[in-house]
């Protein structure tokens, strides 16, 4: 009995092991086939998604091309504008009159271009703020206001700049106001006698200069031009060609000293080419060439 049992049990185990091996190989094959099928399905889905995306992009690009090519948005906007204009005209809200006040020097043509309010145009679509900015960009205009008065009137009020001096740089001459703002390069004859200033910083300082010079009216009436030197001080030129060099500081005091010298000694009528007042305790003068020649040769007369 024991011998039979030892011989039979190994044979049974061997049969069991042999039967189990094919079953294991089938399960591994199924997993391989399933994973391969999943990879193919995922790849197909990605390819399908890419194809759909490319097709949608192509259709979108084609649609944009046709929209731009035949200007469908522009046509739609133009149609809407026409409907709006027709409605505005039908309601009597079109521009029929433009009322301007304060204009003296400003060109009518330049003002009309800046206003851009054609007769018969829509008063509802008219942009008054944009028109105000364009008008204030004109040289003669210091400030402006533009308002719509329904149903059909545009009201414009402007404050013009006052010509104060002429700014010269090289051959170019410009009319400027007291603050130094350039009005324009066309200078009418009635403004040709204004003070002429030169120098890069002259326009910004011309108001303070005139205030100082006007303290001595008798001298100021004879001043023709002034030059800003180094952005620090002024050289003042009189109508007879005499140049007076004022100091950087205390220019008003030096100007008053010159007025006293003129009243007492008529110094401006002397044969002088320049008077230097930059030193407070002395007066430096430069003679005209004729006067210098007479000084060198007192026995000769010309």
User: CATH number for the domain including 278?
Assistant: 3.40.50.11690
225 within a domain of the structure (yes/no): yes
Same domain, 112 and 145: yes
Indicate the number of domains in the chain: 3
Same domain, 113 and 181: no
Same domain, 52 and 129: no
Same domain, 156 and 252: no
5 within a domain of the structure (yes/no): no
Q: Which tokens sit at 206?
A: 């011309």
Q: Which tokens sit at 50?
A: 């890419």
Where among 160, 176, 196 does a domain terminate? 160
Contacts of 191 (CB under 8 A, 6+ apart): 163, 166, 175
Where among 82, 105, 131 does a domain terminate? 82
Domain limits for position 192: 165-296
The pTM of the full predicted model, rounded to 2 decimals, is: 0.67
301 within a domain of the structure (yes/no): no
Beta strand pairing call for 172-176 and 141-149: unpaired
Same domain, 120 and 215: no
* Kind and range of the H or E run holding 84: helix 72-91
Can you tell me the distance from the alpha carbon of 30 to that of 40, in angstroms, rounded to the nearest whole number?
A: 15
For 3, the 3-state DSSP assignment is helix
Same domain, 154 and 134: yes
Averaged in consecutive runs of 10 residues, what is the pLDDT profile of the chain (302 residues)? 38 42 50 60 62 66 66 56 54 86 96 95 94 97 96 97 97 96 95 95 96 97 96 95 95 96 93 94 88 66 46
What is the reported pLDDT for 302? 43
What is the reported pLDDT for 55? 72
What is the reported pLDDT for 272? 93
Same domain, 177 and 251: yes
Same domain, 68 and 113: no
HSE, side-chain direction, 13 A CA sphere, residue 92: 3
Same domain, 117 and 170: no
What is the reported pLDDT for 288? 84
Same domain, 135 and 173: no
For 275, the 3-state DSSP assignment is strand
Same domain, 74 and 98: no
Can you tell me the distance from the alpha carbon of 155 to that of 99, in angstroms, rounded to the nearest whole number?
A: 5
2 within a domain of the structure (yes/no): no
């Amino acid at each position: 009995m024991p011998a039979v049992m030892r011989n039979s049990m190994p044979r049974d185990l061997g049969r069991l092991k042999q039967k189990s091996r094919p079953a294991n190989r089938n399960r591994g094959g199924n997993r391989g086939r399933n994973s391969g099928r999943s990879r193919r399905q995922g790849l197909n889905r990605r390819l399908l998604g890419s194809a759909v995306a490319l097709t949608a992009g192509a259709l979108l690009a084609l649609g944009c091309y046709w929209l731009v090519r035949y200007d469908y948005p522009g046509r739609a906007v133009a149609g809407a504008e026409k409907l709006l204009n027709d409605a505005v005209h039908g309601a009597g809200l079109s521009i029929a009159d433009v009322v301007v006040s304060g204009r003296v020097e400003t060109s009518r043509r330049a003002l009309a271009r800046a206003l851009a309010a054609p007769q018969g145009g829509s008063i509802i679509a008219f942009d008054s703020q944009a028109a105000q900015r364009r008008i204030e960009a004109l040289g003669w205009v210091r400030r402006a206001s533009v308002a719509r008065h329904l149903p059909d009137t545009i009201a414009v009020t402007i404050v013009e700049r006052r010509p104060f001096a002429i700014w010269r740089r090289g051959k170019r001459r410009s009319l400027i106001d007291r603050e130094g703002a350039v009005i324009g390069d066309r200078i009418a004859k009635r403004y040709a006698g204004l003070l002429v200033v030169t120098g890069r910083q002259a326009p910004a300082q011309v108001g303070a200069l005139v205030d100082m010079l006007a303290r001595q009216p008798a001298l100021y009436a004879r001043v023709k031009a002034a030059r800003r030197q180094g952005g620090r001080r002024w050289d003042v030129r009189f109508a007879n060609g005499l140049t007076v060099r004022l100091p950087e500081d205390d220019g008003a005091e030096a100007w008053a000293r010159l007025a006293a010298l003129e009243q007492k000694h008529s110094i401006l009528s002397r044969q002088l080419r320049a008077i230097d007042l930059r030193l407070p305790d002395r007066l430096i003068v430069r003679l005209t060439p004729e006067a210098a020649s007479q000084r060198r040769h007192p026995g000769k007369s010309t």
